[in-house]
Amino acid sequence: MWIFTPHGFYSAVEHREKPDTIIVRARDKQDLEALRPYIPDLLILETMDADYLYRIFVSRSRWASAVSTMAREIDYDNFKDAVKKRQGEDRASVYMRVWTAMLALQPWPFNGYYEDEYELGAAEPQSTWDTWRQRLGI
């Protein structure tokens, strides 16, 4: 499960040998540090033997509780703006590229603007959401 939050990006999977254990992986150590309010005693491990450099091991119930609490704490009306405010422009730019890639899954009329409005691999979208909405008349 991939989870994008204003606190960080997480990849959570079941431990192969311990079904009650969830391995929460991250690309950035700070993302896991941001989980400390939800999982105070977490131990961050670093490994060069896997595609995610950082990880924690947590019981399934503690992970479910942490995710549930984060969901209850949602206090924003625009996710991308919340990421920018809490994690900065660089992280917001990365999340925007993910948003742009996922736009390709959405049915017309929106996916037709994907190629026109965004350059794949660009650090920033070529136009703003407000401009996009105006062009679509929404």
pLDDT tens across 4-34, in order? Answer: 999 999 999 999 999 999 999 999 999 999 9
pTM: predicted TM-score of the whole model, two decimal places: 0.76
Could you give the C-alpha distances from 121 to 4, 23, 33, 113, in angstroms and in order? 19, 29, 28, 16
CB atoms within 10 A of CB 106: 12
**pLDDT tens digit sequence for 35-51:** 999 999 999 999 999 89
In the three-class reduction of DSSP (H, G, I as helix; E, B as strand; rest coil), residue 58 is classed as strand
pLDDT in tens, 53-106: 999 999 999 999 999 999 999 999 999 999 999 999 999 999 998 988 887 777
- 38 Ramachandran zone, left/alpha/beta (phi>0; psi -120 to 50): alpha
Closest CA to 55 of 98, 26, 21, 17: 26
